Amino acid sequence: MNRRFTADYIFPVNVKPIKEGVVELDAEGNIVEISAKRRGDETYWQGIICPGFVNVHCHTEWSFVRGLISENTGIDHFISELERLKKLFSMNEIQDSIAVSLDEMYNNGIVAVGDLMNTDWSKVAKANSSIEFYNFIEVYGLRSDQCDTIWDKALALYHSVESPKNIIPHSPYSLSKELFEKVHVFQKKNQTLSLHLLESQGEVDYFMEAKGPLFERFKRWGLPIPSTISTAKRPLQSVVDFIQNSNRILLIHNTFINEEDLLFANEHLMEVYYGLCPNANLFIENQLPPLDLLRQKEAIICLGTDSLASNHQLSILSEMKTLQANFNIGLEELIQFACLNGAKALGISNQFGSLEIAKKPGLVLIENVFEQDNFNLRNATAKRIA
C-alpha cells in the first residue's frame, strides 16, 4: 500500500523546498509522487522531510574504540593509540561494536555509507544491515618489498565484498610508488577513488620540504621515503599521475586545502568531490576545512563522519550542525551536501540523494528546526521515517 507523508516543509534537494509539500511512496519505498498540495490523507510530521543522508566516509571497523581516544592530541598520538587499543579487543567485541554503529547510522537517517576497509571485520554486520555500502578497500605501505603482499591481501578482500567497491590509496604520503602504481592500473570506469587529503599541516611539510612530524615519524619507524616526496610540490600535485585516470575522485578531509590545490584539482582531475568530516577534524587537529573558500570555488562538497576513533557519534546531522555553528551557511545547502552530492560522489544518485520519482532514497525527518529561526539546526534531531 502506498503511504503519503507531509511536513511543514519538504526538501527534495533537486528542486526548491516545498512548504507543506507531500511525498508519496509505494510499498517498496519508491517515490511515486511529489506535490505541493495536500489531499488530507497524509501523515503529518512536525519539522522537515528530506532524503536519507549519505555518509561518504566512515571506517566502521574502528567502532570498538568509541570514547577511548582523547581529543586534540594530534594525528601522531591518534595513530599510536589506535594501534595500542586494537590489541585489547576480541573479534566478537569488534563485530558487535560495528553492528551497533550501523544501527545508530540507520536510525539517525543515514541510508548509504562509503566504508573504508582494511579488514573483513565489518562483513557480517553489513550483511545484516539495510544501509547501502560503497566498499573502499584501502591500501597503504611504504616498503616496496611488501607491495605484492599488501596488494594480494587487498585483492582477496575486494573479491569477497559486494559492489559497489574499489581498491583505493589511503593518502598521498602512505604508499610506495609501486603500490600507488598498482592502484592506478586497477581503476575501472565508473568507480569512485577515495583519498585522504591534507588532514594535517604535517602532510604539506612532508611533501614540500621533507620535514615535519610526518617525516620524523617515518624516519623513526625506519620507513623508506618514497620518490613521490621532497618534490617541493603540494601533496595532490605530487601524486596526481596515480589518480588522474579515475573518473570520480573523492578527496577526504581537505582541512589544509588552499586555492592552489583547488585550481589544480579542477584542471587535472575529472569529477572531484570534497568530502568533509568536520567533527573528526576538530577531534584530531582542532581545525576546520576552509568551507568558504571551497564554496567560492564551487567545489562539490559532501559529508562524512569518519570513524568512532575520531568522532563521538556517526551522525551526518551532527556534521551539518558543526558546519552551521562555524560558518554562515543555510540548511538548503547543507542538505545538498548531506544527500545529493554524497550520492553522486559514490555513484549511487540513481537511487539516493533526492526526492525524485522512481528513486528510493529513504525519508528523514528533521525535528526542532523552524522557518522563523532560519532553519537553524542547533536543537535539531533527525530520524529515519521511511
DSSP string, 34-90: EES---S-SEEEEEEEEEPEEEEEE-GGGGGGTTTS-SSSHHHHHHHHHHHHHTT--
Q: How far is the CB of 307 from Zn ion (least distance, A)?
A: 7
Rounded distance, CA 373 to CA 85, Å? Answer: 43
β-sheet bridge partners, residue 213: none
Residue of minimal Cβ distance to Zn ion: 306
Q: How far is the CB of 344 from Zn ion (least distance, A)?
A: 20
**Of 72 and 227, which has the nearer Cβ to Zn ion?**
72
**Of 97 and 307, which has the nearer Cβ to Zn ion?**
307
**Of 6 and 318, which has the nearer Cβ to Zn ion?**
318
Rounded distance, CA 194 to CA 167, Å? Answer: 9
Q: How far is the CB of 70 from Zn ion (least distance, A)?
A: 18
Angle between the 316-326 and 278-285 helix axes, to the nearest 10 degrees? 70
In one letter, which amino acid is 107? Answer: N
Rounded distance, CA 163 to CA 25, Å? Answer: 26
Q: How far is the CB of 62 from Zn ion (least distance, A)?
A: 9
**Of 13 and 346, which has the nearer Cβ to Zn ion?**
346
Q: Give the SS3 label for residue 134.
A: strand
β-sheet bridge partners, residue 253: 197
Q: How far is the CB of 254 from Zn ion (least distance, A)?
A: 12
Q: How far is the CB of 63 from Zn ion (least distance, A)?
A: 13
Q: Give the SS3 label for residue 141.
A: strand
How wide is the angle at C-alpha 321 spanned by C-alphas 118 and 133, nearest 5°?
30
**Of 306 and 319, which has the nearer Cβ to Zn ion?**
306
In one letter, which amino acid is 140? Answer: Y
**Of 58 and 125, which has the nearer Cβ to Zn ion?**
58
Contact residues toward Zn ion (CB under 5 A) are 306
What does R_g of the chain's alpha carbons equal in angstroms?
21
**Pick from 250, 256, 331, 327: nearest CA to 292:** 327
Rounded distance, CA 162 to CA 318, Å? Answer: 29
Whether omega before 164 lies within 30 degrees of 0, making that bond cis, reads yes
Q: How far is the CB of 196 from Zn ion (least distance, A)?
A: 5
Q: How far is the CB of 235 from Zn ion (least distance, A)?
A: 15
Rounded distance, CA 359 to CA 227, Å? Answer: 46
**Of 252 and 339, which has the nearer Cβ to Zn ion?**
252
Q: How far is the CB of 346 from Zn ion (least distance, A)?
A: 15
**Of 62 and 215, which has the nearer Cβ to Zn ion?**
62
CA torsion angle 101 103 105 111 (round to 10): 130
**Of 61 and 306, which has the nearer Cβ to Zn ion?**
306
